[in-house]
Structure 1
Amino acid sequence: MHINTTHTVNMTTAVPTFQLICLAADVYPEPNYSWHNVTCDNGYNHNTCTFTPGPEEHYTHPICTAERPDIPPYGKKIAKYESPPLKLTYEAKVAAMTINAAEGTFTVNGEDYANLSLVCTAHGRPLPTELKVTKLGNDDFTITTTTIEKGNWSVEAAVTLSDIQCRDMGTYSCTAHNGVGQPDTESIMLNVRCKT
């Protein structure tokens, strides 16, 4: 069994597709193949497995087994192949940015909200350890906050906006970077209805 590319893969602008090939030599009739520890794009019952790895596949060992279909009652396992570990790095991506758990433009009456919670979720491998929150047009509003690991190779960071006023209206952005590829940024708009 072999992988048709290097085992250490830098997942940056384009995620490559791997092809695993599993062959049991000199076996007749052709054995039934099955795959484990990997999600095959072309199904599991072939001697080839085409798949596009994600961060969750980091350091997994794809396994192929071959069984003779003609030996009752359920066939006989004749071979088991285990690949070297897949070592993957994935550039950081901002998965979501919310205000009070809502995505998209968030509109408030200034007097109705004392505080708002701006949350940024990102993923990558290695995990981003910090996320930077900025406000468009306000160079003084730059907050770099430590992330909290949330599982599934994702992290989260929260910023509290206090004493909401008209001046808080604007576009807020979250930037994630983990040293792989380029930083990734997503934005959200806060619209504050002000008293006239």
Structure 2
Amino acid sequence: MADRKILLIGTAAAIGVLAGGALFLTMRGGDDRFAQCSSSAVAGGMDAFGTDFTLTRDDGRRVTSAEVFDKPSLLYFGYTFCPDVCPLDAARNAEAEALVQEAGHDVQTVFVTVDPRRDTPEVLADYTSLFSDTMIGLTGTDEEIAAVNRGWRNYYKAHDEEDQEYYLVDHMTNTYLVMPGGKTVEFFSREADPERMAETVACYAEAA
């Protein structure tokens, strides 16, 4: 079956400042156990997304990617000072999480900061608690955060040249579905509604 390619643009808005990255996507067919759940994947396969890591959780504990991804997880990259996009996306992801849990599946949301200078574990703990009791916030050194973002091909850039306190950060806004063991199997754009996300996540959870 011939592949059909479409173009996805991921963008983040911050007080009129927009930044984004383009991902080339292709409709995927296949006979693996998740084939019936997937509608799209990045050209070359979703296996190209993800990386092992050790980061600091919002409770201050150092955790590995294997410890974090012990259940289906909706992974998002953002920052707590984000004025509009991040809280909307975090709330949407938390709503999808609740819908999947109501359907009887154990899932979670994960929020990785792109602003480790300001997003300490304590700041992340306060932030994630606004959306979900089970949302995991992760931070680390500049190098650790850069490596994780590279693993998921996530563009971000801090505009802190003139203001070291109230700066904004451009970043992509895709949410990734990561299965236990760290395998990234799906992504969702900002346009995805929580009901569609929940249906897709539940399909993967049932097929796992």
TM-score, length basis structure 2: 0.21
Q: Which has the higher contact order (CA 8 A, sep 6+)?
A: 2
Q: Higher strand fraction: Structure 1 or Structure 2?
A: 1
Normalising by the residue count of structure 1, what TM-score does the alignment of the two structures yield?
0.22
